Chains A and B, each alone.
Chain A
Amino acid sequence: MDLSEWRRDPGSSCRLSSAVAAACRREPCSLGVDEAGRGPVLGPMVYAICFCPLSKQQQLEELKVADSKTLTEKEREKLFAKLDEAKDFIGWALEVLSPNIISTSMQQRTKCNLNTLSHDAAIGLIQYALDSGVQVKEVYVDTVGPAEKYEAKLKERFPELEVTVRAKADSLFPIVSAASICAKVARDHAIQSWKFVEDLEDISPDYGSGYPNDPKTKEWMESHVDPIFGYPQFVRFSWSTAQTILDNRAVPVHWDDDEEDGNKDNTPSVLTYFQRKTEDPKVQPHRFFTERKLVSLVNL
């Protein structure tokens, strides 16, 4: 798997894909969607699709792809190599969502939660397959959030496809298992060779599993907080683990859409409308200055 394109700019999201087999353009295909790295506070989240003609289901099963969680890293690598070799009937595509994209999406002014982000990535990949001429007929998705809602959303978006959203789809449908292997392998590769864009001297690579409940991960995060900037881009800032550590160890930063100190300060108490104005309104600076937020100074 060649992640070099994404490595050049690991702050962005990146799509990688195999060549589309001729068989996939000719025959009706089934397509599986799965993800890796949804829970960790560190590193990217990877979305993957795998597709293969319905007529080749037997051959796909012969590859013995299974739920990636039951496999060791080595076995996954082997299976991915097999999938990649079967390029005459199997195709795949990946979307690597960097931790930076996850942080900024979830923390922007109009918040975009992780579910929406995941759904959009899945929709984007299905659309990519359609655009590449794959004769997609059936879609199998491992669910994110409530399965019924997700299924309805996908059906509305792709009315011509048979969409099945199911929990544990990666152990039920071989095509989803194949996608889960692609996703997991890509995530492993991305993490193993993570290049910190920040200029950090001897950062310890010993951060454990990357999951927030891992004590090693927590320890690593606590020892890598910069009081001003917080974390390197490797960390998902939007995770509550990251937030809590920032609240305790970093300098407080106030944004104008912060709920706790925004609303209270900007909305004057009702009582102020009934108070006698002690200050002569004429003492107020002219609106030329107030409109431009220009104030006189007494001290430097």
Chain B
Amino acid sequence: MPGKKSRVRNSDQWVLLAPESAIDAPEKIDSGPVFTKLRNPKTGSAALYLFSSDCNQVYEVKAFDEDYHSWFIGQSVQRDGRLLFVTPLDPLFLVLPYLINASEKQGKFEPADQVIKDEEFPRCASVLKCPRTLQSLHHITDEKEMGDRKFYKYNREKTLVWLKKKVEQTVKALKSTGLSVGAGIQSSMLIRSKQVTEATEEDYLRYAHGLLSDYIPMGLSVELFKFLELPAISTNATLNEPPSKKRKLSDKPVEAEEDYTKFNSDSKEKKPTKMTAAQKSLSKVDKSGMKNISAFFTSKNKGTTKTP
């Protein structure tokens, strides 16, 4: 976060929550669970993932990270109060950006190991070792078999249908956990006896779409939004931006869009109003030799300054 003191992150121990499947002992030596940097499908930059032994499954790694936290671990103190979560990830999310790129460049059927290639992140090829990856690749690609080799090509329509299913699954999960998805922000720390506002189906869809968008490239997120036929929120854009000042440049005089004064007086002529006793006595004061107050605010340039 910006403006924050950079904290030292030299952790020599970390606290981690992982399913047992992620840390199972390997069948062969040297194929145990391993942390790996891969390309984050949304941002395109590096992020941390974990392959379980023999690359059976891929997990994403997220950390609960809040200021002013530390751990007491056994007889030691860990200044880094983070809690790491290792949670299973659908490997298709990781291969999706590569398939989209390939289809934009080449647009032809290719073997999977030629598409899932990255000089910066060579370990991304390991995603293909997950049994699940090749089995489910048909959700997002067209396949062709030639001899004993399989060739794949990104299919946009299939992908959107697949993602829509994901959205629906997410909605189901959101509903079962009783998560607050409405527009109003509610504290997730408080347990309410009853839901304050009933979240609409659209709220759920929108939330699920947002959640899923953290796992797919941004362009695809926009396409999915249209595919789900969600109405765009028009106010969002104007809320974030301050009103532009360009209006001054136009020649037209600025006028109020509505004339509010017309409701205040029913006749156009001003009736002479009755004066109070104080006002009456003031009006009788001799004002000769006195300047009108507005005279003090007019520009004095006219007579006083001499041009050289």
Contacts and interface: CB of A to CB of B under 8 A. Distances in A.
Band of interface residues on B = 35 or more
Contacts of B84: 297
B64 A293 contact: yes
Interface string B1-17: 01111000101001000
B188 A300 contact: no
Interface in B10-50: 11, 14, 35, 37, 40, 42-43, 45-48
Contacts of B65: 293-295
A272 B85 contact: no
Interface string B60-98: 111111111000000001000000110000000000000
B53 interface: no
A296 B213 contact: no
B240 interface: yes
Contact of A288 (B42, B67, B207, B221): B207
A8 interface: no
B131 interface: no
B134 interface: no
A257 to B, nearest CB: 9
Interface residues of A, number: 27
Contacts of B213: 286
B240 A255 contact: no
B230 interface: no
Contacts of A228: 77
Interface of A: 228, 254-256, 261, 265, 268-269, 272, 281-283, 285-289, 291-300
Interface of B: 2-5, 9, 11, 14, 35, 37, 40, 42-43, 45-48, 60-68, 77, 84-85, 179, 185, 188, 207, 210-211, 213-214, 218, 221, 240
Given A286-B211, A298-B37, 11 more contacts: A228-B77, A288-B214, A291-B185, A293-B64, A293-B65, A294-B62, A294-B63, A294-B85, A295-B63, A298-B45, A300-B14
